Structure 1
Amino acid sequence: MDDNKVIRQLIRVNLELEGFEVVTAADGAECLDVVHDVRPDVVTLDVVMPRLDGLRTAARLRADPRTAHLPLMIVSACTQHEVESGLDVGVDAFLSKPFEPGELVSIVRTLMGRERRREADPEPEEPEPAPVGREHE
């Protein structure tokens, strides 16, 4: 989810080149509809969005039992406050814009692997530290 069409395309192309199927949304409200229709393995969220921002979208996904365990990743020019707010609502990973495509793919794979392990062994466990992309310089 990103309101910038170029960023959505960049994320889509880089993930599709690695064999992922990608569905996009232009804002948080559209993202919620897409998530319930498509049932994705991972959701990437920008923070600053029209209608419903990425942090409020993440909070709504966490509050819904159907999506409470869905891996969420913020892809944004994150401030420390946004990272802290994201951790408070349960975001799993952060990637600062501008980002390296390989780093995007790596974090998505990590999150998908974690979700598959959770589905195979639904016993609660100690939370893993959130993968964090390189700091915005």
Structure 2
Amino acid sequence: MLVVDDDEVIRQLIAVNLTLEGFEVETAYDGQDCLDRVRDVAPDVITLDVMMPRMDGWETATRLRQDPDTQHIKVMLITARAQEDDRRRGYDIGVHAYLTKPFDPAELIQTVRDLVGSPRPL
């Protein structure tokens, strides 16, 4: 997992929730940091904020989809942008899931499990 958000509190909240569920988690500050680290981390899933400095989530997701080395990685946008146009834009880019802030940690965990193909807990 690679958690990308410029807000340290949110980045750590996501990372802690995923770590407690057994996921190996690395973090990145913004889209450029994500692209700089993605090959070393080799994540199955990237959680990606939209509004970040240097490179926003839209551009980051677009670049991930365009690169043959990263296009297979599941991308989940986690953002305060809750308009239907924003969701559509994300899905048009090729993201796999869209979660709005504030989010329910249980929904975050279940969405990540669904993306990696893990079974739902009994």
Q: What's the TM-score once normalised by structure 1's chain length?
A: 0.81
For 2:100, the equivalent position in structure 1 comes to 96
2:7 matched to 1:4? yes
Paired with 2:58 and 2:84, the residues of 1 have a C-alpha distance of: 13
1:80 aligns with 2:84: yes
User: Percent identity over the alignment?
Assistant: 58
Q: What CA deviation, in whole Å up to 9, does each residue of 1:38-82 have, x standing for no partner?
A: 100100000001000001100000000011121000001122222
Unaligned 5+ runs, structure 2 = none
RMSD, matched Cα: 1.0
Alignment of 1:19-34 (within 5 A): 19-34=22-37
User: In the alignment, is residue 113 of structure 1 matched against residue 117 of structure 2?
Assistant: yes
Is 1:53–2:80 an aligned residue pair?
no
| Larger-gyration structure (1/2) | 1
Letter in 1 for 2:59: R
Runs of 4+ with deviation above 3 angstroms: none
Aligned residues: 114
- The one-letter code of the counterpart of 2:31 is G
Instruction: Give the C-alpha shift of residue 23 in structure 1.
Output: 0.4
Unaligned runs of 5+ in 1: 115-137
Which one has the bigger strand percentage? 2
Residues 57-110 of structure 1 deviation map (CA, whole Å, 9 limit, x = unaligned) = 000000000111210000011222221111111010011100111100000010
Q: What's the counterpart of residue 43 of structure 2? A: 40
Q: AA paired with 1:54?
A: G
CA distance in 2 between partners of 1:19 and 1:70 (Å): 19
Distance in 1 (CA, whole Å) between partners of 2:78 and 2:115 is 14
Q: Hey, what does 1:66 align to over in structure 2?
A: 69
